[in-house]
Amino acid sequence: MQGDIAVVESLSVDNPTFYGHPNPVNRKDVVKLYDESLALGDPLDKEELAIFKQQFVELLAPPGSEERRLMLNRVEQYMLALRAIKNATGGQKFRGLNPSQTELGFGLIRPVHTISTALSPRIQWIWPWTVAYADWICAVGGGAGYGIGAKFGLCITHLKSFTTPTPVLAEIQVTVGRSQLLPIDVRNLRIGDTVNQVSIVPIPTIIGLPTNTLYIRGRSDTVAATNDEVALGGLVFGLGRVLVQTVTYPLL
């Protein structure tokens, strides 16, 4: 393990606190995020936590990258999301990367875990933007959120653009369940000052629980429609049969 992951190594099934906060591994109360209640269910056991600590690091970008630093900073939120999604999907044991079809695992968010106006599911992140706010992550047909599948959930912590030399996405607005967040300025995507030369910007943590709805719209500063390839950064937690999908949206 690299020396910058002390925050991950500090996770424990025994301690009551974690850097001055209630320990996300074993806290028993319901967590409120915006207007959404996250029932955490049973604490992780030592085996599950050991898997998370070892394999979470494998998902991170190389040492020194902005994405790595950002994800390490949000490890508490990822743990809360894991527990809430585990509870909502039936409490299966967490097996980390490459779980079996009916075991709970995790991975990076891919386009197949979302839906857009014309693509069900998405197979790529490329999307045309204009100066007017318009649907991005939404139900087919637009205008409303899409239903997250029954056996997975998302923990979104940042956006990253693969468009060079200059991304165009300027603002987004997120609605998760009944909670509509204020518009988020993401123009810092244009700076592209990370070690890996990937444009990345943190956003408030969004936890999309199974069967909840997620709606994201956005706009650019360009009048003419201009493509940008912006990915949702963070983790998906779900059963193996969800994580294995490439072209079929995992609704059930």
Q: Are 167 and 176 in contact (CB under 8 A)?
A: no
Say whether both 62 and 7 belong to one domain.
yes
Torsion of CA 95, 1, 195, 75, to 10 degrees: 50
> How far is the C-alpha of 190 from the C-alpha of 221, rounded, in Å?
12
Say whether both 120 and 232 belong to one domain.
yes
Question: Using one digit for the tens of pLDDT, what is the confidence trace for 39-94?
Answer: 999 999 999 999 999 999 999 988 888 999 999 999 999 999 999 999 999 999 99
Q: What are the Cα distances from residue 133, in Å, to 28, 196, 216?
A: 40, 30, 10
165 upstream amide cis, omega within 30 of 0: yes
Say whether both 123 and 92 belong to one domain.
no
Say whether both 34 and 92 belong to one domain.
yes
Question: Using one digit for the tens of pLDDT, what is the confidence trace for 37-52?
Answer: 899 999 999 999 999 9
Cα of 203 vs its chain's centroid, Å: 10
Picking from 48, 75, 106, the residue at the C-terminal end of a domain is 106
Say whether both 44 and 146 belong to one domain.
no
pLDDT at 115: 94
Say whether both 170 and 127 belong to one domain.
yes
CATH number at residue 222: 2.60.120
Q: Are 216 and 139 in contact (CB under 8 A)?
A: no
> How far is the C-alpha of 216 from the C-alpha of 180, rounded, in Å?
10
Neighbours of 72 (CB within 10 A): 18
Q: Which residues of 8-33 are buried (b: 16+ CB within 10 A; e: fewer)?
A: beebeeeeeebeeeebbbbbeeebeb
Say whether both 160 and 227 belong to one domain.
yes
Residue 136 in any domain: the answer is: yes
Picking from 78, 106, 134, the residue at the C-terminal end of a domain is 106
pLDDT at 31: 81
pLDDT at 2: 64
Say whether both 70 and 115 belong to one domain.
no
Domain count within the chain:
2
Picking from 58, 90, 106, the residue at the C-terminal end of a domain is 106
Query: Domain limits at 221?
Result: 111-236
Residue 248 in any domain: the answer is: no
Residue 15 in any domain: the answer is: yes
In this prediction, the residues of the chain whose per-residue pLDDT falls under 70 are 1-2
pTM: 0.95
Residue 250 in any domain: the answer is: no
Say whether both 64 and 136 belong to one domain.
no
pLDDT at 37: 82
